[in-house]
Chain A
Amino acid sequence: MRVIVSGTVVPAIAGTSESWKLHRLLGFAVEGRHAIVFEDSKHLLSWLETVDQSSRGAYLTALGLASRMLAALPANVATIRIDTGNYCWNDPLSILSLDDALQTLAEPLGVLVENSENDWYFLRGMMLKSERQRTQKLLDKGWLLPVHGGGSTLIDKFKERIAIPSKGLRTFVMFDSDRVHPDEHHPTWTTARPGKQPASCFAFEWEKAISQVMPARYWMLRRRFIESYMPKSELLIAGASQESVAALHSLPTEARWFFNMKAGLTRDAGRHDSERAKGLFDELTDAHRQALAQGLVNKLADHYEKAITSEFDWDTEARQEARTAIPKLTRLY
């Protein structure tokens, strides 16, 4: 995170019994966890005169390195301004007391996903190599943690996290869209079905709740599931049959993105809201329909973890989606 220390903070604490907090704060800069800048260097330098020489040198070097780090970061990088009033827990700019800031800065960034293995490895695989390397370093140091949402309980985990402001500010969420037709991404679509049981779509309610609290810190997939992104070549490696893969790729692109990769056409046809597919698969030949009846392969999403060392040949639209979504996460580092 970017941390801006207002000019009133150091004079208020320097020379008091709480000056250890400045050491704690500068410690984040020394270890490279957060990039810290002081608005008023005069008071900082005066205080640094009172600390031991090795700490002083380390802190000054760390602040120099932090400036270099910050030059490469975008304006919307998550930022904490440490001040002595006007507090708020906003994103991208929070204004916090030194105590709240220290607590927040010590909080690992929680990446809340439905499944902390498959979904996490999907997200990791969608990253650029440079983003992946940065992310791995944060993981290794314990500064970033994939958080298991447990499928339908993801929203409960989300609510638990945001109940604690310092955790909430350090939360990013990724989830399937659960949409079964591209039209369901339209802003006016709802799960309401007049006179009938509402459509089943967890992500619809989740997005409403999450976007209200943190509009720039989540990624609802454009496609139905993480499996909907798996490249053709990987489907075959993961064990899908030639017939089912050929049938899937006989579909128009958007139909493919909303096909039930996990359970197939038969399961979707038996849903209480099966009309939602709106004829997306009507053009399939009988043979292709048969090949797609039961989904492609059991536990297909496991392939994201199994193929961790492979570079997937993502399609152009997947790459474009990732280029928009993943910077929302990396700006929180």
Chain B
Amino acid sequence: MLSGFSVENYKAFARRQDIEIRPLTLFFGWNSGGKSALVRFLPLLAESIAVAGPPIWLGGAVGRKATWSELVCSTTERGNLKLALRWSEASIGAEWEILGDLEGRWQETTTLGLTTQGVTSIYTRSEETQSWPGLLPLTASPYAQFDGMAELHAKTYELANSVQWVSGIRARPPRIVTYGGGAPATLRPDGEDCVNHLIAAQLRSTADPLLDIPRKFFAALGEQLSLDNPVTGAWRVLLQPSGASNVRVNLCDTGEGYSQVLPVLVALARACTGGPKIVCIEQPELHLHTSAQLELSKILIDVAKSDKHPAVLIETHSEVLLTSVQLAIANGELAASDVRVYWVESLRNGTSDAISVDFDENGSPTNTVLASAFNEAIQLGQELITKQLKQ
């Protein structure tokens, strides 16, 4: 399993950022600081590996047709991107330096530092480009014969299939879903096809474990989630209030919160049932009231404890999620070592740093960085009561 990654000269991150991946890795920070860039980094890498084109493929869903100069940090005026991957169970790690033309005409891996059994070897690509077009040399090339290269190949290709990205812009589930069988290995980033996975699960068995997490979330909020199949091949996702057996509402007719959270729930459920185990989610709490955020937090904590060992990376502004995680640690429901928070701090010069925050066994952060995280809401409350007292 991937245990961490590093980036340098990537988006707002001029300096090297070492990101450790825990069962729950949360990214907090102001807008436009770089949280999304960090959460999207593994999806970008997975997309690039899958395409087997240039080292970093910018033409896909994550790359969004960015140019190389938009990928690297504009403050540094350097054209090289540095990245590293580390795996926990393997005695292997790799660091790449990728050079790109700022005008976007070309990019190439210039060096690869491959660490095996604690020994690092630096491979520099020769002028001959045919055998090393992307992140890794082709398996038939002479480079591929070096120690550890075969394992690195295996690990990176495994990574390409292990990452699920749930973007911050999600599609509303269709009123009617036509289903002809099967579901893609990964959800679309906007989650539009998440219902297909639910249908596939229900067709396997109404007790299929993939259905557990979505059902549990809605049940906690007094709703029963069901899949209705009125016509062959046509399906509807319905919610039924627990106190009204005759009322069934199509999910697409509910407020945005429930439809926005469904892809999140399906991605998390899949991570626990054989789907991609690294789930990168932007704003899972979109449109959710704090009571629903609380239930979602419980789900996330349960997933972090799953014996399938998924890793969930989340970009969020949810104070409820953070406090829930702290409380779960304090209650002994979640190990402090299973959580890592990064506060993404943006500087006035347009660069950012990801400052790590761990927790002690009482759920207290180990530094003061989060003291500013939700300060505005608290200060507004204090200003209000001060004003009210004076009148």
Contacts and interface: CB of A to CB of B under 8 A. Distances in A.
A48 to B, nearest CB: 14
Given A54-B389, A73-B365, A75-B360, A131 B372 contact: yes
B353 to A, nearest CB: 8
Contacts of A31: 382, 386
Interface in A122-146: 128-131, 133-134, 137
A327 B368 contact: yes
Nearest to B33: A129
Contacts of A17: none
Contacts of B353: 128, 319
B371 A311 contact: no
Interface in A114-168: 128-131, 133-134, 137
Nearest to B380: A65
Interface in A183-215: none
A12 interface: no
Interface string A10-49: 0000000000000000000011100000000000000000
B8 to A, nearest CB: 11
Interface in B333-391: 343, 345-349, 353, 355, 360, 362-375, 377-379, 381-382, 384-386, 388-389
Contact of B378 (A54, A58, A65): A65
A77 B382 contact: no
Contact of B364 (A64, A73, A309, A313): A73
B378 A32 contact: yes
Interface string A56-76: 011001101100110111110
Contacts, number: 97
Nearest to B349: A311
A72 B373 contact: yes
Interface residues of A, number: 37
A129 B319 CA distance: 20
A86 interface: no
Contacts of A330: 368, 371
A30 B348 CA distance: 32
A73 B15 CA distance: 27
Contacts of A61: 381, 384-385
Interface in A92-114: none
Interface of B: 15, 319, 322-323, 326, 343, 345-349, 353, 355, 360, 362-375, 377-379, 381-382, 384-386, 388-389
28 contacts: A30-B386, A32-B379, A55-B389, A57-B385, A57-B388, A58-B385, A64-B381, A65-B378, A65-B381, A68-B319, A68-B323, A71-B322, A71-B326, A71-B363, A72-B365, A72-B370, A72-B374, A73-B365, A74-B368, A75-B362, A128-B369, A129-B347, A130-B369, A131-B368, A133-B372, A327-B367, A330-B371, A331-B368
